[in-house]
Amino acid sequence: MSNSFDFASNPHTRINILTGEKVLVSPHRNKRPWQGQTEEVSAAQRPTYDEQCYLCPGNVRADGATNPDYEASFVFVNDFSALLSDTELTKVDDDNLLIAATEKGICKVISFTPRHDLTLPEMSTEAIKAVVDLWQNEFMELAEKEWIRYIQIFENKGSIMGCSNPHPHGQIWAQSSIPVEIAKETLQQEKYYQNTGETLLSAYARKEITREERVVIENDHFLVVVPFWASWPYEMLVISKRPVQHITQFTEDEKTALAITLKELTIRYDNIFKTSFPYSAGMHQAPVNTTPSPAWHWHMHFYPPLLRSASVKKFMVGYEMLANPQRDITPEYAAEVLRSQSTIHYKHG
């Protein structure tokens, strides 16, 4: 093995030689704070400010930095980043069996609001729009670094999803290689675009609008469906009507529409089981600092684990881990349940 490659301290990816897919390893990251237990306390009982929270304004974080007394959203480099910007890029390949490459990156945290007690669906459309603006700015800034190839904007909500702090926040990981899901989606989208001259998701959105049965939200700029192939019970896919590659291409009208769409989507989620609905959600966008691909179509995935109640969760285990995902309730039924929810949050109804 190469001497410069330190498996015990460098963030790196390893290739699974059975599937050809990558696994990200972050060996330096073993002292993350866990503040997830307080999620058991319902949001209604959470204080607007928590002196123990590393995201609340004015508090001191793990690395000793003090958060400013911010009034909207606030972004900083994660004190426990899975990727580091000073990692030297090297590769090893031991007989095509042990294949790895170091991975360079930047991991940021975005606090959506100074209010410790809120969640996205309870924030005002204006406040959510400010988060969309910040996502756009951060994306633009990170894409200026030439070594960055892909930028993942995402949110992990709820301790059930392994979220370490109930304060409403999301993350942005920017990295030097293309992750597995993006490589797969690039292939599928390129194939469709080469055959038809249209983006895969433009054609799919049009199909779903005529079929209606899986549509949950539709406005001038966005379509939200339970995808035909959804594997999580209440999985949703947000598709921009205009086939853009990156969030930076959205106009003011589109950004406002995205804020309105995200608010309505998350209110419908919370209303299903009258609970703060946990999920992992994130945008998929074209890789950066490479030839721009017109086949790539911006979209956002919502993967929530809840199945029958606030406490009954779907597990992806057994057959699903070994073969492929399986579901019981149909995507059409899930869409019907989501459509039948009020667009007024249950706490305010």
Active site residue ranges:
169
User: Taking the CB of residue 302, how many other CB atoms lie within 10 A of it?
Assistant: 24
203: CB partners within 8 A, 6+ apart: 192, 196
Comparison of 38 and 249: residue with beta carbon closer to Zn ion: 249
Which of the stretches 171-179, 210-218, 278-286, 325-333 binds Zn ion when contact is defined by CB under 5 A? 278-286
Comparison of 103 and 185: residue with beta carbon closer to Zn ion: 185
Which of the stretches 42-50, 114-122, 185-193, 338-346 binds Zn ion when contact is defined by CB under 5 A? 185-193
Question: Residue 301 Cβ, how far from Zn ion at the closest point, in Å?
Answer: 5
Question: Residue 247 Cβ, how far from Zn ion at the closest point, in Å?
Answer: 14
φ/ψ of 338, rounded to 5, equals -65, -40
Contact 345, 270 (CB under 8 A): yes
Contact 177, 13 (CB under 8 A): yes
Contact between 157 and Zn ion by CB under 5 A: the answer reads no
Binding mask 110-149 for Zn ion (x = CB under 5 A): ----------------------------------------
Comparison of 130 and 172: residue with beta carbon closer to Zn ion: 172
Which of the stretches 42-50, 62-70, 121-129, 283-291 binds Zn ion when contact is defined by CB under 5 A? 283-291
Contact 90, 102 (CB under 8 A): yes
Comparison of 55 and 237: residue with beta carbon closer to Zn ion: 237
Question: Residue 184 Cβ, how far from Zn ion at the closest point, in Å?
Answer: 9
Q: DSSP character for 66?
A: B
Contact between 246 and Zn ion by CB under 5 A: the answer reads no
Annotate 113-151 with b (16+ C-beta within 10 A) or e (fewer).
bbbbbbbbbbbeeebbbbbbbbbbebbeebbeeeebbbb
Comparison of 127 and 239: residue with beta carbon closer to Zn ion: 239
Site residues (CB under 5 A) for Zn ion, limited to 198-227? none
Question: Residue 2 Cβ, how far from Zn ion at the closest point, in Å?
Answer: 34
The site that binds Zn ion (CB under 5 A) totals a number of residues, namely: 2
How far apart CA 313 and CA 188 sit, in angstroms, is: 30
Question: Residue 258 Cβ, how far from Zn ion at the closest point, in Å?
Answer: 16
Contact between 284 and Zn ion by CB under 5 A: the answer reads yes
How far apart CA 161 and CA 145 sit, in angstroms, is: 31
Sign of the torsion angle spanned by Cα atoms 317, 272, 235, 252: negative
98: CB partners within 8 A, 6+ apart: 1, 14, 92
Which residues are near Zn ion by CB under 5 A?
Answer: 185, 284
